[in-house]
Structure 1
Amino acid sequence: MKTIDKPVKKCKIKRFDFVKKPRYFSPMRHIAYLAGKIVLRKADVTIRRVNMEGLKPPYFILANHASIYDMATSMLVNYPHRTYNVVALDGLYDFTEPLMRSIGTIAKRKFIKDLALLKSMKFVVTKCKDAILMMYPEAKYSLQGATSYLPPTLGKLAKFLGVPVVSCHLNGCYVNAPQWHKILNKRAKIEAIVTQTCTADDVKNLSEEELQKKIVDHFVYDDFKWQKENNVVIDVPYRAQGLNRILYKCPRCGVAHKMEGEGIRLTCKACGKVWEMTPLGELKALEGETEFSHIPDWFDWEKADVERRVREGTYRFEDEVKVKTMPNARHMYRHPNGRLIHDNTGFRFIGHVYDEDVDLHFDSKIQDGVHIEYPIKNNDYTDCVILYTQDESYYLMPVNARDVITEISLATDAIYAFRNEKK
């Protein structure tokens, strides 16, 4: 897959077909299993099943989304059944559309209303043989390795699908390939706990609200807590590399976007304070008080600060952005730099795309999350905010601002919650 740099007319762009029914080429389940085994060949993987006796497909799995290890582990968990995964369009771009369609992938763009997705999911559980439907309900990687936002419609979705609901907790996937540097620890220790959360009778007899509560109550995890409790030592020399991407604000001096994660240390360039990340995933100040030893606690402190600014009406982001688009799973297109603004009203993107001026607004009242990516190839190895419409994915990469996309993600969640509060 490649990026096209020359200008292209909008009428020449072929859009992705989200309506096409998912199909699974049966021999691919064995190949997918083998691929998972290869990726995890040096890892210590344990699979525990709870209340799964006698359960046969079709059923609906909800899994936490931690890292690239998720998919490989799920291939082992669900084998020899056929697993139809709900996957963002960029997943098909990365691994090619023909390959991903052959293993039953259901593609979607994130954080938009998607009737075609619901139809495809219902098709899988009612018409497809030996089918497991799998989805990551957080709709994005957990930034801090712990439970994040879950949509309030999971109970309604379970009722609509009409099949048992299973939770899959993937412990160790995050700490062995954390979002802040995405480097795989190949000798990972991973534990998958697969639990039938809602039986067929539950789905039939319980209300949507009762199903929602059961699902949410079973969807609690904290990878750093699991690491410490299970004495999982990750003694790699790069474990704090890029940690500033999620821990962007100093708890000592309060200055944001001046943190630097290098090797095993996190340093505030504003006040000079240094923390060291231990092989058990904890932080320890080299001098003075350790404000937060538990990384998710530091992250939650940043989250509370963003929520306060949202309520006060003082949160705002604006910067020049590099622009790429992904209309389908074959090509990305590069466009002239544009401008991204984010405040309590939502996102505004001003640019020149497919040889046309655009001025798009994404209303925060319906924008219940935003997908961000730390440096990978698709976003030119720099931080990126991705906004979606029905026909397009906009990859917007801040030019001047540093370590801001985590804050933007937190603000998006906070603004949505604030604007949808019952008065």
Structure 2
Amino acid sequence: MALQISATNPEHPALLLALPWQLPLEEWPEEYLVPLPRGISRHVVRYARAGDEVIAVKELAERPAQREYELLRDLDRLGIPAVDPLAVVTGRSDADGEPLEPVLITRHLRGSQPYRSMFETTLRPATMHRLMDALAVLLVRLHLAGFAWGDCSLSNTLFRRDAGAYAAYLVDAETGDLHPALSSGQREYDLDLARVNISGELLDLEASGALHPSVDPIEFGTEICARYGDLWEELTRTSVYPAGKYHYIERRIRRLNDLGFDVAEMQIAHSSNGDTVTFVPKVVDAGHHQRQLLRLTGLDAEENQARRLLNDLESWMATQDDYAPGDPLAARPEVLAHRWVRDVFRPTVRAVPVELRGTMDAAEIYHELLEHRWYLSERAQHDIGLDTAVEDYIKNILPKARETLQPMSGE
């Protein structure tokens, strides 16, 4: 059987043909590989360079490879945080004509880390809580979309910095299934697997001495269930309000927005006697602040980053002479937002030397600078301004933090 490359982008096959498909993945020469930290996998996985892209290459049987490729494409269409599928390569054979396993190729997630590389410097419990929050949000988003993961774990997740928190991305969809909707039993099964897997992974870290002594692996495994349950309840529960109190519904929607979700479809019904109104969010979409920031500025950021940038944008807009909400002659928000990007955001980010940025993307750099301005202003008891904060950050913070900002996976 001849070598075949099934790809999502017509440009990828030409780039991928240059890779040594006649060799087992374990034998690929160093010249093709990118030395990035790898998580635990039941399959052989290597990172390689194809043109300007860093790709993850995983060997597995043809049917699972094709299935996972299609599932990842489905998740991409649904807007779920997961690695991007690029191609499946089949028909591989070695120099003697012996068949080799097919491979699944995904785009490596820039600036991400597998959890084990994060534990190389013992994580504080507060940071671990943020990881559990990120993983709970990812699992809820998958379940809202009708995706049963089947193997939720830290090993099957990548984490990216997100304005002091983390964003979680699905890496391995091999055991997943997509349905129109999930039953309570399917969700509970996924959640129980997550609890067992996470506790087991943390017990392994504890045995190796990489776990903070105050962390109980069993408690942290259970924590994912509690955080998932709280979020799922808030996103899906039915609310009953007194008739005429429609601002209660608006307040509930605002609370969901604060959590980073939009209500795309809702059901509102009056009781038979007209005394009460029942409100049920029927379709809830994640990425409220991401979409708002993208619409206003064209900037694509993680959810917490977007929330922080929007807050700064609103504060800046209030200082502009042509900002007058409700005045039809005033500058539109989109105009002011693009001015903020041009005059504030981009110059501020560009002031930070590229060699000192480490793994941080532009939105994360800006968040860090806002945090540093707040800290310096608190210490000085007055606003020290962004320019001063940038200068101090470059001089006193980044050089000391450079070791912890070394490129993670995807850099």
TM-score w.r.t. structure 2 length?
0.29
RCO (CA 8 Å, sep 6+): is it higher in 1 or 2? Answer: 1
Is the helix fraction higher in 1 or 2? Answer: 2
